[in-house]
Structure 1
Amino acid sequence: MKNNTLYCMIVSGDFMSDFDIKNKVVQSNDLIQLSKWNMSVVPFKIFKALISCIDTKKPPENNTVEISRKELGDLLEIKENDEYMKRQVKSLQKQIVELDLKNGNTMMLSIVPKVIYPAKQSNDNIQCTFSEELMPYLIDLKEFFLQYDVAALKKFKSKYGLILYEYLLSRERQERQSEHKYSISVENLRRLTDTETKFKNFKELNRKVISQAVVDINGAGVEFLAVAKNNGRRGVKATHIEFTLRKRTSYKETEFDVVDHPEWIRKSI
């Protein structure tokens, strides 16, 4: 979503970029909470950056957005490696997202069926076209949607951190629990993070997915910090994870229990 007050178009070659670092990533909560994200962190961040290029009040013609290689490289902190970036962008064409529908069915969704990547010597932008079926989850959203600064993508190191950041922030903004506690079943967490057949031992799942995601969120300088606990105990299998959130009071904070400005802790996230 473009910042309409500060947004400026960047001319690159014959085309204008739709990207600005002040843009917002805007998506429906259903897309965030009910999808199975089976892509690695770099394509996932590219996908979110492309979403931020959409003006939700004026959807792009042919569902196509543009971003320059420099803008994308700066956001992803990829320097002078055009072939790597090209492979990562093109990989979006192969990504199929599974979205659980409210009627019990599952929709298999190709998210970016068309990519035009400019020649190495060209100054043209990268052009990506979203699938028609995806657009209702990205435009004309009147309730139960999430928006956050696209600049937040820079600090995330893992897809698990970014997935759970979006999931937890969408629930916080939708539910507004007074104690900021949000529970998710292990089954649903595995679906969301595409780990249904990975890390079958819960201790491994906890270490490589849950704990890694919490560290990632807490180090990313985003709106909140988190801590996670599960309901498992000796002889009893963990079935749910409870995340507790608190407002970040300083960009320097990286630990849930170390608060720089306690007087701000009760402000809304």
Structure 2
Amino acid sequence: MSSKLTVTKSNLLIDASYRLNVQAQKLVLACLSKIDSRPDSEPKKEIKLTAIEFSELMKIDIKNAHRELYKAADALFKSSILLRDEHEETELYWIQKKVKKLHGEGAVTLVWSDEVLRYISHLKSRFTTYKLHNIASLQSGHSIRLYELLMRFNSTNIRVIALDDFRSALGLEGRYPQFKELNKFVIKQSVEELNQRSDLIITYETIKKGRTVTALAFTFKQNKQMKMDL
């Protein structure tokens, strides 16, 4: 069943700046997959997710699923999203209140914030949809974010992104100030993991102004034979 589930996010949200650990990202995506994205559907503000569902959707060992689910819930409560345009900067919170842990049921109940719900509840303008199982095996939060950024441009299979925008989208402001470090610890590792564990085959080049790297050019295509055996 999980192979048919899709995740739909507003493209504005995809390009926003936020940093979530891998468990919290997978919690968000698992909950998003339970939202009916048809335009005529009613928004679902409260989502209940069991550890068993989390385990099945995200390929997490059932023995660890409860612990991972509760850790993800704690991380999500402390995290925010930064939306930027040329005129203003707005900070939103993913959830309205601390996630309720239903220990007896091995589940959590999440309540989206009103602001975030506007972006994820309806398909009204530009949205990106991808299958949940394509990112379930990823072990890095950076890899999940890169996957989302690329899939927004899956109609062209090319994405050119300014280096500052890339840092911002992955929540890396102030980290890896030298491109050599960013490339070694974030970009290369994320591309390698996506090539191994997702349905994408990715290459990238740097764009320079003089000797300074100013942008990244990603080229990608979908691999119908997903390498999920690692």
Same fold (TM over 0.5): yes
Bigger relative contact order, structure 1 or 2, given CA contacts below 8 A and separation 6+? 2
CA contact (8 A) 2:82 2:92 kept: yes
Which residue pairs with 2:220 in the alignment? 245
Given that 1:53 and 1:66 are in contact with CA atoms closer than 8 Å, whether structure 2 keeps it comes out as no
Partner of 2:90: 107
CA contact (8 A) 1:183 1:242 kept: yes
The residue type equivalent to 1:241 in the other structure is: L
Q: 2:4 is paired with a residue of what secondary structure?
A: coil
| Residue 184 (structure 1) aligned with residue 167 (structure 2) | no
Shift of residue 138, structure 1, vs aligned partner: 0.7
- What amino acid is aligned across from residue 143 of structure 1 in structure 2? S
1:22 is aligned to: 4
Q: Take 2:6 and 2:76, find their aligned partners in 1: how far apart are those partners?
A: 20
Cα deviation 1:83-142 (Å, max 9, x = unaligned) = 443122122111111111x452111111012311112xx226421110010112112213
Q: How far 1:250 moved relative to its partner?
A: 2.5
Instruction: Pick which of 245-254 and 187-196 moved more.
Output: 245-254
Do residues 97 (structure 1) and 81 (structure 2) align? Answer: yes
**Counterpart Cα distance in 2 of 1:182 and 1:162:** 16
Select between 89-98 and 242-251 the one with higher mean Cα deviation: 242-251
| 1:46 paired residue among 27, 35, 38 | 27
TM-score by length of 2: 0.88
On the 8 A contact 1:155/1:221 being kept in 2, the answer is yes
Shift of 1:60: 4.5
Q: How far, CA to CA, are the matches of 1:216 and 1:240 in structure 2?
A: 21
1:140-192 deviations in whole A, cap 9, x for unaligned?
2133101111222322121111111111110233xx3xxx3321111111101
Report the CA distance shift for 1:227/1:152 in structure 2 as closer, same or farther (over 3 A): same
Which of 200, 211, 220 aligns to 1:236? It is: 211
Determine if the alignment matches structure 1 residue 204 to structure 2 residue 186: no
Tell me the number of residue pairs that the alignment of Structure 1 and Structure 2 aligns.
224
**1:195 counterpart SS class:** coil
Gapped runs of 5+ residues in structure 1? 1-5, 7-19, 255-269
Q: Using the alignment, how far apart are the partners of 1:213 and 1:87 within structure 2?
A: 23
Computed over aligned residues only, the root mean square deviation of the Cα atoms, in angstroms, reads: 2.3
Determine the C-alpha separation between the residues in 2 that align with 1:248 and 1:79.
Answer: 28
**Secondary structure of the structure 2 residue equivalent to 1:146:** strand
Report percent identity of matched pairs. 23
If the length of structure 1 is used for normalisation, what is the TM-score? 0.76
For the residue of structure 1 that corresponds to 2:221, the secondary structure is strand
Counterpart in 1 of 2:135? 153
Corresponding residue number in structure 2 for 1:3: none
Give the Cα–Cα distance (whole angstroms) in 2 for the partners of residues 83 and 55 of structure 1. 27
* CA offsets 1:243-263 (integer angstroms, 9 cap, x no match): 111232432499xxxxxxxxx
3-state SS, counterpart of residue 102 of structure 2: coil
Structure with higher Rg: it is: 1
Q: 1:75 to 1:237 in 2, by over 3 A?
A: same
2:127 aligned partner, one-letter code? F
Letter in 1 for 2:23: V
> What 5-or-longer segments of structure 2 have no aligned partner?
none
Distance 1:140 1:85 in 2: 26
Q: How does 1:125-140 map to 2 (within 5 A)?
A: 125-140=107-122
CA contact (8 A) 2:143 2:193 kept: yes
Are the counterparts in 2 of residues 155 and 219 from structure 1 also a CA contact under 8 Å?
no
* Counterpart position of 1:194: 171
Determine whether 1:162 maps to 2:128: no
